[in-house]
Amino acid sequence: MVRSPKEVNKGAWSREEDDILSKYVVIHGEGKWQKVAQNAGLKRCGKSCRQRWLNYLKPGIKRGHISTDEEDMIIRLHRLLGNRWSLIAKRLPGRTDNEIKNYWNTNLSKKLQKQPTSSSSLPSPSSVSLRHNHGKCGHVAPEAPKPRRLKAVHQYKILEKNSGSEYDQGSDETSIADFFIDFDHQDQLMVGDDESNSKIPQMEDHKVSSTNSTHSSSSPSDHCHLLAEKFDPQEILLDVELKKMASFLGLEND
DNA sequence: AAGTAAGACAACCGCCGAGAT
DNA sequence: TATCTCGGCGGTTGTCTTACT
């Protein structure tokens, strides 16, 4: 019998698999997911292991019942950031991008669509539309520019070339939409991670220890601090833009 | 009670960037 | 410098559950 050398399980994870993965990661730590899958004896691809761990098994993950506070936060952040679920998730300790994404697609997008188009009708960076296949839930409109991860370093280099002048001259008039299309907030928002980033309000009611434990303060963070310094003028600008946007959206009180 | 539609969510897929070699 | 590998991300799909007829 000829069998493919790699037998890979698909579909729902069993409790046994969860146990194996949890124990392995607790002992050996995260990372090298391909090896995790191999060494732990899981017939799963590395990606699958990573996703399972990050979304369900990792300590500190909150599941179910998204509070109104959290919901409100998701809505606001989505207005600002679009479908940047990972970024949004960073603002909601214990929540995963996948969960927020699902929650948005199944609940919030519809809820917002039902709402009158007065205050909350500003097209978000990636405007909400009905899912096309079954008309089930909202997704990015086909014509909307796909949110793509851009390179912070790239932006930083551009800024450096222009001595930071590109964005502090006349950019006040830049439309919010253009701003989102031309300039990606994500990486700047990520700079300095949660603790140092206060451009967007963060849920205060929980401090999840795991977020601290995963925050390495070695060389990568040095790099981040460096970037944060380089980005300073822009961060100020970002703050201004966010305030403008908040004002535009009637969210000044944030 | 059975069948069907809609909802909810877990998981997969493909793309991309960063780092290693 | 080019290529490869890994990890991260967002979009999409599959499946199970619930509501409705």
Q: Are residues A157 and A232 in the same domain?
A: yes
**Distance CA A55 to C1' B2 in A:** 37
The answer to whether A53 CB is within 7 Å of strand C is: no
User: Higher confidence at residue A181 or residue A50?
Assistant: A50
The answer to whether A112 and A120 have CB atoms below 8 angstroms apart is yes
User: Higher confidence at residue A81 or residue A206?
Assistant: A81
**Distance CA A40 to C1' B5 in A:** 42
**Distance CA A204 to C1' C18 in A:** 34
| CB-proximal positions of chain C, under 7 Å | 5-13, 15-16
Residue finishing a domain among A87, A115, A140: A140
pLDDT band with cut points at 50, 70 and 90 for residue A219: very low
Residue finishing a domain among A140, A165, A187: A140
Q: Are residues A73 and A128 in the same domain?
A: yes
Q: Are residues A168 and A227 in the same domain?
A: yes
The answer to whether A157 CB is within 7 Å of strand B is: no
pLDDT band with cut points at 50, 70 and 90 for residue A159: very low
CATH at A106 = 1.10.10.60
Residue A147 belongs to some domain of the structure? no
**Distance CA A86 to C1' C16 in A:** 26
**Distance CA A20 to C1' C16 in A:** 24
Residues above pLDDT 90, as percent of chain A: 0
CATH at A44 = 1.10.10
Residue A145: exposure state from Cβ atoms within 10 A (0-12, 13-18, ≥19): middle
Give all strands (DSSP E) within A92-216, no chain letters.
128-130, 138-140
Q: What is the extent of the structural domain holding A160?
A: 152-249
pLDDT band with cut points at 50, 70 and 90 for residue A247: low
- Residues A138-166 have a mean pLDDT of 37
The answer to whether A145 CB is within 7 Å of strand B is: no
Q: Are residues A227 and A168 in the same domain?
A: yes
The answer to whether A58 CB is within 7 Å of strand C is: no
Tell me the per-residue pLDDT of A109-130, one tens digit each, with 9 for 90 and over.
777 666 654 443 443 443 333 3
Q: Token pair for residue A208?
A: 């999840």
- Residues A205-217 have a mean pLDDT of 35
DSSP state of A72: H
- Residues A151-172 have a mean pLDDT of 37
User: Higher confidence at residue A243 or residue A81?
Assistant: A81
Q: Which residue has the tokens 């300790």?
A: A93
Residue A128: exposure state from Cβ atoms within 10 A (0-12, 13-18, ≥19): buried
User: Higher confidence at residue A144 or residue A98?
Assistant: A98
The answer to whether A107 CB is within 7 Å of strand B is: yes
Residue finishing a domain among A110, A140, A170: A140
Domains identified in chain A, total number: 3
